[in-house]
Structure 1
């Protein structure tokens, strides 16, 4: 699939996901542009719920794979859970900063209808978006 997409006359984002069954961290960097972490994110700062993890357990896991990305590729550590569930407003700044630092796609997992201005300002932080 990678080779077919490379021969197309347009840029295509190739994102991989296998739910952690084939060790994507070992070979995805040479194959795709992003690859999914095998667990989903849960809107809480610590702990887990069924197969989903909170922000800090995911960040801890991400620290083991800091060198499995390069300029053109990255792991997808899950949606931004800013203003969802448990994390406090102050935690939301940290959540965005951590995701920017680990090169995770900054995909908003927050309902935008009726979003509070303070949350929108966090999500629109130009410095962190640029850093990412």
Structure 2
């Protein structure tokens, strides 16, 4: 299914759900570069990393995903998140159930704010929470 995201701001946020929509919205926040930038960062993003895991009711929505480098749980930032869950929770990279990822800030690298704590939204946007230090 091809989705035209050019007019995403005009769409009902409740309709911005699904892998075909969430992945490009997350990838577009930093033009495909890894948003996480953990100690294992490989720089170029590759995967959608669920903040609240699908097994805990995490949805395919932009506020629930980070564009991360690495391959699954093995390497890069995606691997670092899964292998360091306590640190990942502190940084908002993992959001345990029943918390809503839209209400939990995350420490990521952003196009507008650099490395900062931000809130992610369904349309792929970010809203500044506070400037943070590197992970």
TM interval, short-chain normalised? under 0.3
Higher relative contact order (CA 8 A, sep 6+): 2
Q: When you count helix as a share of all residues, which structure comes out higher?
A: 1
Which of the pair has more CA radius of gyration? 1
Instruction: Report the TM-score when normalising by structure 1.
Output: 0.27
